[in-house]
Structure 1
Amino acid sequence: MQLTGSQILVECLKEQGVDTIFGYPGGAVLNIYDELYRHQDEIRHILTSHEQGASHAADGYARSTGKVGVCLATSGPGATNLVTGIATAYMDSVPMVAITGNVAVNLLGKDSFQEVDIAGITMPVTKHNFIVKDVAQLADTIRRAFLIAQTGRPGPVLVDIAKDVTGNKTEYTKVIPPMIERVKDTFSSEDLATGIQMIEEAKKPVIFIGGGAVISDAWEEVREFVKRVDAPVTDTLMGKGAFSGDDPYYTGMLGMHGTKTANFSVTECDLLITVGSRFSDRVTGNTARFAKNARILQIDIDAAEINKNILVNHAVIGDIKEVLKAFNDKLEEQKHGDWIAHVMDMKEKYPLKYHERGLTGPFILRKLYELTGGDAIITTEVGQHQMWSAQYFNYKKPRTFITSGGLGTMGYGLGACIGAKVANPDKTVINIAGDGCFRMNMNEIATATRYNIPIIQIIFNNHVLGMVRQWQSLFYGERYSYTTLNDCVDFVKVAEAMGAKAYRITKVEEAEEVLKEALRINIPVVIDCILESDDKVWPMVAPGAAIEEVFTEEDFKAK
């Protein structure tokens, strides 16, 4: 049948099972929006307050479900406003399709009104991108975009569509997308045999879990693998929930703000088994001294990650779920009783601690964990609150901790929170933000209230850019250059003005009642928590130091 480009786009989205789009209209996408109007009962469109919010919402939708998130924006500034969200998704391997409009084909390259080369701009931060100039190519391009976004190592794909393409007609035939099969032929029995030999020879192994284990839905295989190897477990920000934070074998996060137990275990181990992690600098510290006593076995879907940051002794390249299944089928259960006992002694000796005087971020997070039983999706912005959220809320399930790990995007969490709640309406979804981050995209509270999306926004309001101030305090002689937010913004009034229910917590005694009320009322809520300006994230590894040089507040004062 003959359809316009806009009709074809919507039909292709329906083919792919898309039920929600986050976006903002404009001239170059008017034909698309007109068609979405006709299909409101099939595809829900969430109008965000800013295109960046749309990209972060699509990201949160994708991370919390494993499905492809979709965002839509017009040409020029609409398209460029998506770039930070696209880059965020790219760094964390999130499946997303970003659709942008552009000027008509005959106006391309002529500095036309609201024209930018968005494909050129996003080339470094997309898995692939397309410019559609012929309506006959539109359907196949959309189908390819979704396939690329979710196969192999996932990532964002951009499809830029010229405006006249959305109005032109061509023949359309419905195509049912093929089932995406997991790739199983990227590793050999010899690869497995070498890995198994390394495991069997190890006396002090550690398993290090990254985001690849979450992306590949491999948490059941991870748990079985841990049992078979009999090894303590540490993780990255992106790997949280692939192995339960409540499990006795869990030692905490690794790296700059990792636990002493995790950092010391990796330093002492004789085999580090890395599952779906890219060895970020925030994890490794001084690479020359990282896991200095260990052989390293790396399991990853992307061959480009092997020997990129850390030289490894052996790698098995493939889908984490399939690789671990193969290991679990062949590996006999190992026993490392003395090593496990030693690591458990370290857990007892070096627990995470926070000040119990006054209201603190860790206190709020522990109280949230108590009240929810850990059954919540936590999204975050970036900074101290992000680290505390990783440390003090135990993630028992995957896809329940959603944060910008690679790019470190301030302003990410609120949009991601909205996307995650839209995708998971029956789950409690909470965004943890610092006051500096909340300012960046707090306009998305208006999105939550517009659609009555019952998210909970908690602000750790210390009136400073907390993480930068922490570095200035520790490494820059307490010269607080432009990190003090001593203005008159009242977040409670701002939230109420946008239609949300708002509370302020100033002391410990107020916290439980307010949090219980926020969890109960099922409407958009903002909670402004007033914290001390100089509370710090502990433990910490100084930049450039080895992870074994991790220090606590007590260690720092002792120096």
Structure 2
Amino acid sequence: MRLTGADILVECLIEQGVDTIFGFPGGAVLNIYDSLYKYKDKIKHYLTSHEQGAAHAADGYARASGKVGVCLATSGPGATNLVTGIATAYMDSSPMVAITGNVPLNLIGKDSFQEVDITGITMPITKHNFMVKRVEDLAETVRRAFQIAREGRPGPVLIDIPKDITMRECEYEPRVTGQIEKKSAVNTGAIEKALAMIHEAEKPMIYAGGGVIAAEAAPELYELAVKINAPVTLSLMGMGAFPATHELYTGMIGMHGTRASNLAVTQCDLLIAVGARFSDRVVSRLDRFAPKAKILHIDIDEAEINKNVRVAHYIVGDVKTVLAKLIEGIQPKDRSQWLNHVLALKAQKQQPGNGGELTPRYILEKIYELTGGEAIITTEVGQHQIWTAQYYKFTRPRTLITSGGLGTMGFGLGASIGASIALPGKRVINIAGDGSFRMNLNELATAVEYNLPVIVVIMNNHALGMVRQWQSLFYDSRYSQTTLDRKTDFVKVAEAFGAVGFNLTAREDVEKVLREALSLNRTAVINCEIDRDHKVWPMVPPGAALEDVIVDETDLVKN
């Protein structure tokens, strides 16, 4: 059949299983929006308040569902407003297809109105990008984009479509989309060597990251850990890949990891890294990272091998497939002495207690209790993000959605919208700081417009808390531009957007307010007034090794 480029695009999206798209219209994508209007019974378009919100919503949708998220923006500023969201998805390996319009082909390169080289801009932050110059190439380009976004290590792909391409016609042939084949061929010798390393180890430790979640390999990770009696630590992106309630779980690793995790990694004789990339926030001081351990690295992306940390052995392949093969060959071995030692580390002082005041820990633990740990938690970026990872017990994959690699303030609200749409009926709670929330609070209008029961919990310390913490500890309390004594009333802001607002100032009111917000089927904002000097502990000071982790300011004085 003969169709316009705009209709071919929408037909191909439907062919790829897309039923949800986030975007904002403009001149260069008018034909696409006209086509979306015709196909509105097959694809639901969600109009966000800003293109950055559309990108974060598509990302949140992808992370919550495991499907490819899709966002759409016009040329020029519309396209550039997607960039932060695309980079966020790229750093965290989230599958996304971003579609941008551009000026007609004959105007490209002439500084035309709302023209920008978006493929050039996004080249470093996408797995691949395309500019479609022939309508005959459009269908195959869309199919290829979705394949690239899904296969191997997932990530964002951009398709830039000049306006005249959306107007031109050509023959379109529908195609049934096949399953993406996983990289399953694993060298038998590599498996055997890994099994020998595991069997020889007296003190094995597993460090798992977001790659376990992307590969849907949490059951295999669990089985491996239990079979070899190895403690498990997770990166921020790996939260939920192993249940936080399990005895073998030692908590997060790295700069704000638990003392038990950081010391166990320092003392283990085999570190099995699964779907993790050894980021600087995990490794801290490189020359003292896991000094007694042989490192076995399992990852889908060969580029990550020996990139940040030199390893003794590696296996490149689909994590789920590799772990399954390892599990088949595991031999039982008594490691009770090592386990007892790690359990003793867990029992030692980790973080300060709640006291009697309104603390982030108390709020997060109460959220966990009242939701039964079944909520989808999104976060902005800052102290509240780390408190969330520490105090909410994530037991399943895809229940924490956060910006780990890029650390994007303003990510959480858009992501919570995408997650809520991806998983209707699931309770979605966005944990925010007052600084991060201000960045994209305009997306409250989107949540309210689509009747999304998202709850935003603001840890309001009237400061850019994480930066202020560093200024307090390492810059002699010179608080340059981190104090936010602004007059913004977040309850009134929520109400102005059509949401419900709550003020929370006392510990004894936490349960009552949370229960009321949870009982509503509406967008809600809870402003929690917490002390400005609450800090994130534990912490590895800059330039220190994991073993130098401190659990409060008294430790800092000692060191």
Partners of 2:349 and 2:304 lie apart in 1 by 32
Match of residue 117 from structure 1: 117
What letter is aligned with 2:270? Answer: L
Match of residue 350 from structure 1: 349
Moved more, 62-71 or 329-338: 329-338
C-alpha distance after superposition, 1:41-79 (max 9, x if no partner): 111100000000000000000001110000000000000
Match of residue 411 from structure 2: 412
Q: List gaps (5 residues or longer) in structure 2.
A: none
What letter is aligned with 1:550? Answer: V
Match of residue 27 from structure 1: 27
SS at match of 1:243: coil
SS at match of 1:238: helix
What letter is aligned with 2:132? Answer: V
Match of residue 323 from structure 2: 324
Partners of 1:126 and 1:181 lie apart in 2 by 21
Match of residue 36 from structure 1: 36
Match of residue 104 from structure 2: 104
State the shift of 1:352 in Å: 3.3
Match of residue 226 from structure 1: 225
Match of residue 8 from structure 1: 8
Moved more, 347-356 or 380-389: 347-356
SS at match of 1:119: helix
Match of residue 50 from structure 1: 50
C-alpha distance after superposition, 1:298-322 (max 9, x if no partner): 0011111111111100001101001
Partners of 1:539 and 1:50 lie apart in 2 by 36
1:118-267 aligned at under 5 Å gives the runs 118-185=118-185, 187-267=186-266
Q: List gaps (5 residues or longer) in structure 1.
A: none
SS at match of 2:199: helix
Match of residue 290 from structure 1: 289
Partners of 1:125 and 1:181 lie apart in 2 by 24
State the shift of 1:357 in Å: 2.9
The answer to whether the 8 A contact 2:350-2:538 is kept is no
Match of residue 465 from structure 1: 464
Partners of 1:524 and 1:310 lie apart in 2 by 44
Partners of 1:518 and 1:16 lie apart in 2 by 37
The answer to whether the 8 A contact 2:504-2:526 is kept is yes
Match of residue 513 from structure 1: 512
Q: What is the aligned-residue RMSD (CA, Å)?
A: 0.8
What letter is aligned with 1:86? Answer: I
State the shift of 1:355 in Å: 3.6
SS at match of 1:203: coil
Match of residue 360 from structure 1: 359
Moved more, 212-221 or 175-184: 175-184
Match of residue 268 from structure 1: 267
SS at match of 1:460: strand
TM-score in terms of structure 1 length: 0.99
The answer to whether the 8 A contact 1:119-1:130 is kept is yes
Partners of 1:357 and 1:485 lie apart in 2 by 25
Partners of 1:406 and 1:116 lie apart in 2 by 26
State the shift of 1:510 in Å: 1.1
Partners of 1:194 and 1:337 lie apart in 2 by 24
What letter is aligned with 2:520? Answer: I
Match of residue 85 from structure 1: 85
What letter is aligned with 2:537? Answer: W
State the shift of 1:229 in Å: 1.5
What letter is aligned with 2:194? Answer: G
What letter is aligned with 1:105? Answer: L
Corresponding pairs, count: 558
State the shift of 1:557 in Å: 4.6
Identity rate, percent:
61
Partners of 1:91 and 1:157 lie apart in 2 by 13
Partners of 2:316 and 2:302 lie apart in 1 by 6
The answer to whether the 8 A contact 1:227-1:333 is kept is no
The answer to whether the 8 A contact 1:261-1:350 is kept is no
What letter is aligned with 1:218? Answer: A
Partners of 1:59 and 1:353 lie apart in 2 by 34
What letter is aligned with 2:307? Answer: K
Q: 1:513 to 1:557 in 2, by over 3 A?
A: farther
Verify: 1:94 aligned to 2:94, yes or no: yes
Match of residue 482 from structure 2: 483
Partners of 1:279 and 1:143 lie apart in 2 by 33
Partners of 1:488 and 1:538 lie apart in 2 by 29
SS at match of 2:534: coil
State the shift of 1:558 in Å: 4.5
